[in-house]
Structure 1
Amino acid sequence: MKQIGSFEEWIKTIERENELLLFVKTNNCSVCDGLFPQVTALEADFPIPFYQVNAAQVPEMAGQLSLFTAPVVLLFYGGKEYTRFARFVRLEELKQRIVELIERGRAD
């Protein structure tokens, strides 16, 4: 999973990638720490790029993406948010949404 280190880097990434997953975490978040390896493991199963950002280190991301909790998993398509999962993420539903995102990309 690639790291986003600044809001400017995020803007360049979202302009470059047609489809992507963004995992947002923060410091001292046990739910984030538990979910992160599970989401990371999905990266091998899907042909879209996975990114992560620590909202405590890049606070502009939280403001710009209207993030009020952590963790948050966001899927993007064509530079726009496709779906979001916040706090407690059901992995089966996340997998289903990633498949939908990939199929949408193939249809376009």
Structure 2
Amino acid sequence: MTSLAHVKQAITQDMNNIVFISSETCSICHVDEPKVRKIAETNGITFHHLDIIQEPELTGLFSVMTVPAVLVYHNGKEVARQARFIDFRSLEELLQQLPKDFQTTDYQSLFSEL
């Protein structure tokens, strides 16, 4: 489990981040977390796991109303979000398209294929 302070810092400093928000009482979260973690690792993207029960302020900070929630950040900006039902194929396709080095990103072209 990652601390909220660490995640906030990583989002501003790292190129790409995935934030997986779950609840210890959510059985689907326990199944989805390793899948999302593996997709992140395969694509060389930093993975963060936060628990909404342990840190209830996540609800307001990330506008998360249900779990599991997967938030994808690129250059400090949220570029994708999935909640409750995670489409692993589209998540992996998006992560493969994200630039891996610091460069000016044309967000229009990045998401024109989605």
Q: TM-score, normalised by structure 2?
A: 0.80
Distance 1:31 1:17 in 2: 28
| Greater fraction of residues in helix | 1
Unpaired runs of 5+ in structure 2? 106-114
Indicate the larger mover: 81-90 or 12-21.
12-21
Q: Where do residues 1-108 of structure 1 align in structure 2 (5 Å cutoff)?
A: 3-6=1-4, 8-102=5-99, 108=105
For residue 50 of structure 2, give the secondary structure of its aligned residue in structure 1: strand
* Matched letter for residue 34 of structure 1: V
* Matched letter for residue 17 of structure 2: L
Give percent identity, aligned residues only: 26
Distance 1:66 1:104 in 2: 28
Root-mean-square deviation over aligned CA pairs: 2.0
For residue 84 of structure 1, give the secondary structure of its aligned residue in structure 2: strand
Q: TM-score, normalised by structure 1?
A: 0.84
Structure with higher Rg: it is 2
Indicate the larger mover: 10-19 or 60-69.
10-19
* Matched letter for residue 10 of structure 1: V
Distance 1:73 1:88 in 2: 10
Distance 1:73 1:61 in 2: 13
Unpaired runs of 5+ in structure 1? none
Cα shift at 1:13 = 1.7
Query: How many residues are paired up?
Result: 105
